């Protein structure tokens, strides 16, 4: 049941009244009883905050936050280990906007009462370090379930998040589990990997000239790439008023679609997606071909090649081998900026690099796509420009958005560490790991918690930016910290 769409006028009225500080709160409520009764009751409710709040409390079950702090003084590793049970949920039935899945899963924490696609990979790294492999298996099976049920992995297991996906880390999850349980894992999930790929490549056959269709981009030279794309052009329910108050600066920009597509990137929000770094209304995500997305799809193609080798289907294996080879060549041709020595996103219409210098440049190194000489230039830049006292800054732009400077995010520290290790920059890898871990430890010592993001420049200041306060928990921070803690 997508109750938000079924009683949308009521949803709009409640959100517009700003009864709750966080617009996600009402989107997470669960209707009590049938929707027709709720419609009838709402007709009699006076339009003021008090009466509207009373209505919500009578006709909806209110959500509870997953706020987790260190109430008793323990070490950080012990604290994280104790959090896994707090952050583990097992919701098998659809409830309100929540999409049930058959097995247990780990939540990020705070306001996030559902699991998120790409977050989960980094959480799994910590589960592996904690010896909780059965939970990794459960989460992978849940993602396969969603692919088979919905046709793809949504942004998170909420109906209001199911118009879009997130960075496609599913193949890396399956690969992680196969390293533990063997190649049978690849065979068990091969049909879901294939369906995941079909989702990202939908619309490819309809492209006959350079341009974009759904999430596929046909380039001038006939190469195929991908973009982030949410087809819905209406305010996000979880950020209804933030979106509804915006006015696009140009008629040809469908601002809600652009913002939603930025959410599919996982980097919501960042100057990466904006014409003007200080103006979110200039977001143009759908006109950008992102380097990280295309690298992840390269890995998916390589994983499918491996699946078909195991299945003994040489022809299909060769087909995916060629897809991956073509994409690797495309990545090195279109995303490399020789003047800056970085991989950058590609502006489809302008036919050039976008100006944003970000940690997305690390993905070709993370997944062994970059030639050695280019990788060294990228890592030199990371060392000189991005690495600070508290880890790698997400970008060089201080836009006020949360996926920009000075913020340091757990997943990008892991990607930076692996990228440096892949190209024998062991000293830099160690610095990335140690600087960020020290940052996390400092915040934990003073506040008794792990948070969603950190300030890379001044570790005494909380990370800011975004549409909501920095959240406690926190799934991927826990995961990456534990992964780093197991390294010598």
Distance CA 16, CA 478 (A): 35
Return the residue matching tokens 């195929």.
224
Nearest to 360 by CA among 396, 323, 321, 307: 396
Q: Which of 266, 264, 311 is nearest to 152 (CA)?
A: 264
Catalytic residue among 81, 119, 452, 472: 452
**Crossing angle for the helix pair 8-16 and 35-42, nearest 10 degrees?**
50
Q: Are 227 and 215 in contact (CB under 8 A)?
A: yes
Task: For residue 45, count other CB atoms closer than 10 A to its CB.
Answer: 17
Please, how many CA atoms are within 13 Å of residue 366, restricted to the half-sphere of its CB?
A: 24
Verify whether residue 188 is a known catalytic residue: no
Rg (CA), the chain: 22
| C-beta of residue 361 within 8 angstroms of C-beta of residue 376 | no
CA angle, 463 then 451 then 101, to 5°: 130
User: Contact at 8 Å (CB) between 107 and 142?
Assistant: no
Residue 452 annotated as catalytic: yes
Closest by CA to 258, choosing from 150, 247, 403, is: 247
Query: 451: which strand partners?
Result: 472
The neighbour count for residue 313, using CB atoms within 10 Å, is 13
Q: Which of 268, 292, 301, 305 is catalytic?
A: 268
CA 399 to CA 276: how far, in whole Å?
9
- Please list the active-site residues: 268, 452
């Amino acid at each position: 049941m997508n109750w938000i769409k079924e009683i949308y006028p009521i949803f709009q009225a409640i959100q517009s009244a700003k009864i709750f500080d966080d617009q996600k709160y009402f989107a997470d409520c669960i209707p009590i009883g049938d929707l027709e009764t709720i419609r009838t009751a709402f007709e009699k409710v006076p339009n003021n905050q008090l009466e509207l709040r009373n209505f919500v409390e009578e006709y909806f079950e209110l959500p509870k936050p997953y706020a987790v702090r260190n109430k008793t003084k323990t070490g950080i590793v012990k604290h994280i280990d104790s959090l896994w049970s707090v952050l583990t949920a097992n919701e098998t039935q659809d409830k309100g906007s929540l999409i049930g899945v058959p097995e247990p899963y780990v939540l990020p924490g705070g306001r996030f009462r559902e699991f998120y696609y790409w977050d989960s990979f980094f959480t799994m790294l910590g589960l592996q370090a904690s010896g909780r492999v059965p939970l990794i298996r459960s989460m992978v099976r849940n993602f396969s379930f969603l692919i088979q049920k919905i046709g793809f992995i949504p942004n998170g297991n909420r109906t209001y998040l199911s118009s879009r996906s997130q960075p496609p880390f599913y193949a890396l999850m399956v690969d992680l589990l196969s390293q533990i349980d063997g190649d049978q894992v690849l065979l068990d999930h091969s049909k879901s990997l294939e369906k995941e790929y079909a989702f990202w490549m939908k619309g490819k056959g309809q492209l006959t000239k350079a341009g974009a269709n759904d999430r596929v981009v046909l380039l001038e030279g006939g190469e195929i790439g991908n973009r982030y794309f949410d087809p819905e052009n209406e305010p996000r329910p979880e950020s209804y008023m933030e979106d509804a108050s915006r006015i696009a600066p140009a008629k040809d920009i469908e601002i809600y679609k652009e913002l939603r597509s930025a959410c599919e990137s996982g980097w919501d929000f960042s100057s990466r997606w904006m014409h003007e770094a200080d103006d979110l209304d200039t977001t143009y995500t759908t006109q950008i071909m992102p380097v990280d997305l295309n690298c992840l799809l390269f890995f998916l193609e390589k994983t499918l090649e491996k699946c078909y080798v195991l299945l003994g289907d040489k022809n299909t294996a060769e087909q995916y081998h060629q897809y991956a080879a073509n994409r690797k060549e495309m990545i090195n041709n279109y995303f490399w900026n020789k003047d800056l020595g970085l991989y950058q996103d590609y502006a489809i219409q302008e036919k050039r690099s976008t100006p944003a210098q970000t940690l997305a440049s690390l993905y070709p190194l993370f997944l062994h796509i970059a030639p050695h000489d280019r990788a060294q230039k990228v890592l030199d830049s990371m060392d000189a420009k991005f690495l600070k006292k508290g880890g790698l800054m997400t970008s060089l732009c201080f836009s006020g958005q949360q996926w920009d400077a000075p913020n340091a995010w757990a997943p990008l520290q892991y990607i930076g560490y692996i990228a440096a290790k892949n190209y024998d920059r062991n000293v830099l890898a160690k610095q990335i790991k140690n600087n960020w871990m020290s940052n996390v430890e400092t915040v934990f010592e003073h506040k008794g918690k792990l948070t969603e993001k950190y300030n890379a420049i001044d570790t005494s200041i909380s990370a800011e930016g975004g549409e909501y306060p920095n959240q406690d928990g926190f799934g991927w921070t826990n995961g990456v910290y534990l992964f780093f803690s197991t390294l010598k």
